[in-house]
């Protein structure tokens, strides 16, 4: 009887230890995602462009990245390299509380940060500059 109780205790101990370790691992991954930083080099991987007119989708196209366009964030600057063009450097601000990224420059833009993890950055930019009830929505994905 003692032998069965001892084995049962060991089995319960092993199961609870594994369950606790697995739970901690999930919390650790979530914490890392919450603390993800823009800083570093991001490679353009996909952009989806949609155009809506009076709320109806009239244009939807994807552009796959080919690994030659980048965003590189430092403490106070972002350098944007698009394909073989000359890199451009701008100031930027990021407000994590509202998930907004503002990049200064001649064509200053403000993005919604849909996703920011250690490996993936998804930015959304909306423009209604054409007017007439038309809205362009660009969803751009970067990875590192």
Q: Is 122 left (phi over 0), alpha (psi -120 to 50) or beta?
A: beta
Distance CA 83, CA 66 (A): 9
- pTM higher than 0.85 for the full model? no
> Three-state SS for 1?
coil
Task: Tell me what the pLDDT averaged over the chain comes to.
Answer: 81
What is the number of other CB atoms lying within 10 angstroms of the CB of residue 80? Answer: 17
For 53-112, the pLDDT digits (tens) are: 999 999 999 998 777 899 999 998 999 888 878 899 999 999 999 999 999 987 789 999
DSSP string, 66-95: -S--EEEE-SSEEEEE-TTSPPEEEEEEEE
Closest CA to 96 of 79, 116, 70, 67: 116
């Amino acid at each position: 009887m003692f032998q069965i109780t001892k084995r049962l205790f060991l089995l319960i101990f092993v199961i609870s230890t594994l369950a606790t370790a697995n739970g901690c691992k999930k919390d650790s991954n979530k914490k890392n995602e919450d603390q993800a930083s823009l800083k570093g080099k991001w490679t353009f991987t996909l952009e989806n462009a949609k155009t809506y007119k009076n709320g109806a989708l009239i244009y939807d196209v994807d552009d796959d990245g080919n690994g030659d366009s980048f965003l590189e964030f430092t403490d106070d600057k972002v350098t944007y390299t698009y394909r073989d063009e000359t890199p451009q450097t701008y100031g930027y601000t990021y407000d994590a509380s509202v998930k907004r990224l503002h990049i200064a420059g001649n064509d200053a833009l403000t993005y919604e940060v849909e996703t920011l993890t250690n490996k993936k950055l998804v930015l959304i930019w909306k423009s209604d500059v054409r007017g007439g009830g038309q809205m362009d929505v660009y969803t751009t994905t970067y990875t590192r």
